[in-house]
A and B are shown apart, each in its own frame.
Chain A
Amino acid sequence: MLEIDNLTVEFGTKKVLDGVSLTAEKGKVLGIVGESGSGKTMTALAVMGLLSPDARVAEGSSIQLDGKELIGLPEKKLAAIRGNDIAMIFQEPMTSLNPTMRIGRQLEEALRLHGQKIPSKSWLREKVMEALKEACLPEPEKQYDRYPHELSGGMRQRVMIAMGTICRPDYLLCDEPTTALDVTTEKGILELINRIRTEHNMGIIFITHDLKLLRGFADKVAVMCKGKVVEQGSVEQIFNAPVEEYTRRLIASIPDRQHRRNVKAAGAEK
């Protein structure tokens, strides 16, 4: 279990996260939805311990991984957890890979960093190839020696996913992984994440501003607004009986007649 409890983060006097409490479980998908600036990315970065040095985590905040407190952990121990127990993929596949390092090397690095015994170079290559294949990257042999700029956005995001999952972490944080991609590619990426989750019993935290992506995908949804979690519940609950006005507006902004009708109905019932 990954438990975030009463997480408060401040920049100077400004609270960017205000008492956020969330729980993610292995094998389940927790969706976090909200507008930009609502604090969803900040939450993920706090879990990774990657907040910028100016940010201050307030006292009383807690992030626990299977009962182990992560806040206040020394940098070395955090680094050992990153990528190994909790991994993260980012919104911008175009800039999130090192432009001067070959794809294969970037994936290998994740393996090298986490102390597994590396019997041989060919073993390393095999592992990387396995991960690339699992991520359904076309022609993995060829991509291995390529540089990021030679790949399309969708391919790069697959590389990011392969890199995030190569050490078989328990949790994968996905920060708007499909926002920069077109709709067809988006669908493929979502399917891939879902498949990896079921195959390896991975817990997913999926951050998006697009509520409809979470339908039929997330087990639980948290709605964030201005650094606070305003509503939490199962997908059905959120879609069919949103309690908060803010959530209703989020649903209403989905350009789909069916959903809009649902919202209206929900509003009329009240």
Chain B
Amino acid sequence: MAEKRTKVKKNIYFRVGLGITLFFVVLMFVGLIYTPYDPNAMNSSEKFLAPCLSHPMGTDNFGRDIFSRVLKGISMTGLVAVSTVAIGGTIGTIIGALTGFYGGIVDEIVMRINDTLNGFPSILLALVIVSILGPGKYNVILALGILFIPSFARIVRSEYINYKNRDFVKSARLMGAGSLRIIFLHIFPNILPTLLVTITIGFNNAVLAEAGLSYLGIGIQPPDASLGSMLSDAQSYLFSAPWYAVMPGMTIVLFVLGFSLLSEGICSK
């Protein structure tokens, strides 16, 4: 009975999470092709308009339409998140699969490095990489992509260690399948559920990290719109135009909430 009840509850998590995430995916594509106003067009006669019909999220200190900028920001954040998870996920999965499957001394060394990196505050690692590469959206993608490699590698590795001695792998080997074939064709489909959860958590972290770096002024650089840098600009006008901070801020919260509910929902499925 109790089990059933938590299942139902988790299912609600999954649905709400999926709903929010899909909503943001739609917004992301919309932001790529259409915004109600030019997100960078300044208009000195329309500074600091409160949310109204023509500007649903109000305008900022340059009279720019916040809704248009938030849309652009969602696209940018989504783009960064997808790219970083793709980079970190692909490289991390390959490293994890090979080290987990073959083991040995290389595995030992790679995992020691991994453990060390995992112990560090993630924002710091991102800062270090950005400090070497310099700010800008491509460098942020690269930095966060590198940052995500260890977590993917660790999780995929433990899955491969788990599966490599299973009977179906042995029988595939007996039928003459080579190691690479076993790694990618036989074992890989089995780890997909775990990978899916890791990817969802990865998106969650990517959104937070991008927003954080941009807030600090070392992430996405103007004129590119970004939710994080909007917040940092908005902070100076907090008293006169609180909506300027609330709109991008709540957008980030919802974005992240969607992913975290989704991952919690998938976990229990």
Question: Which residues of A come within 8 Å of B, CB atoms?
Answer: 12, 54
What's the minimum C-beta distance from B116 to chain A, rounded to whole angstroms? 31
* CB neighbours of A54 from chain B (8 A): 1-2
Question: Which residues of B come within 8 Å of A, CB atoms?
Answer: 1-2
Q: How far is the CA of A12 from the CA of B2 in the complex (A)?
A: 11
Q: How far is the CA of A158 from the CA of B1 in the complex (A)?
A: 37
Name the 3 nearest CB pairs between A and B, nearest first: A54-B1, A12-B1, A54-B2
Q: How far is the CA of A100 from the CA of B52 in the complex (A)?
A: 62
* CB neighbours of B1 from chain A (8 A): 12, 54
3 contacts between A and B (CB under 8 A): A12-B1, A54-B1, A54-B2
What's the minimum C-beta distance from B7 to chain A, rounded to whole angstroms? 15
Q: How far is the CA of A54 from the CA of B6 in the complex (A)?
A: 14
What's the minimum C-beta distance from B3 to chain A, rounded to whole angstroms? 9
What's the minimum C-beta distance from B8 to chain A, rounded to whole angstroms? 15
- The closest CB in chain B to the CB of A54 belongs to B1
* CB neighbours of A12 from chain B (8 A): 1
- The closest CB in chain A to the CB of B4 belongs to A12
- The closest CB in chain B to the CB of A52 belongs to B2
- The closest CB in chain B to the CB of A12 belongs to B1
* CB neighbours of B2 from chain A (8 A): 54
Q: How far is the CA of A159 from the CA of B1 in the complex (A)?
A: 36
What's the minimum C-beta distance from A52 to chain B, rounded to whole angstroms? 9
Q: How far is the CA of A54 from the CA of B2 in the complex (A)?
A: 8
What's the minimum C-beta distance from B217 to chain A, rounded to whole angstroms? 49
Q: How far is the CA of A12 from the CA of B4 in the complex (A)?
A: 12
What's the minimum C-beta distance from A168 to chain B, rounded to whole angstroms? 37
What's the minimum C-beta distance from A11 to chain B, rounded to whole angstroms? 8
What's the minimum C-beta distance from A210 to chain B, rounded to whole angstroms? 32
Q: How far is the CA of A54 from the CA of B3 in the complex (A)?
A: 11
Q: How far is the CA of A12 from the CA of B5 in the complex (A)?
A: 13
Q: How far is the CA of A12 from the CA of B3 in the complex (A)?
A: 12
What's the minimum C-beta distance from A14 to chain B, rounded to whole angstroms? 11
Q: How far is the CA of A194 from the CA of B2 in the complex (A)?
A: 41
Q: How far is the CA of A83 from the CA of B71 in the complex (A)?
A: 66
What's the minimum C-beta distance from A15 to chain B, rounded to whole angstroms? 15
- The closest CB in chain A to the CB of B3 belongs to A54
Q: How far is the CA of A65 from the CA of B2 in the complex (A)?
A: 32
Q: How far is the CA of A240 from the CA of B166 in the complex (A)?
A: 48
What's the minimum C-beta distance from B231 to chain A, rounded to whole angstroms? 46
- The closest CB in chain A to the CB of B2 belongs to A54
- The closest CB in chain B to the CB of A11 belongs to B1
What's the minimum C-beta distance from A56 to chain B, rounded to whole angstroms? 10
What's the minimum C-beta distance from A264 to chain B, rounded to whole angstroms? 42
What's the minimum C-beta distance from B180 to chain A, rounded to whole angstroms? 44
What's the minimum C-beta distance from B198 to chain A, rounded to whole angstroms? 32
Q: How far is the CA of A91 from the CA of B1 in the complex (A)?
A: 26
Q: How far is the CA of A12 from the CA of B1 in the complex (A)?
A: 7
What's the minimum C-beta distance from A86 to chain B, rounded to whole angstroms? 27
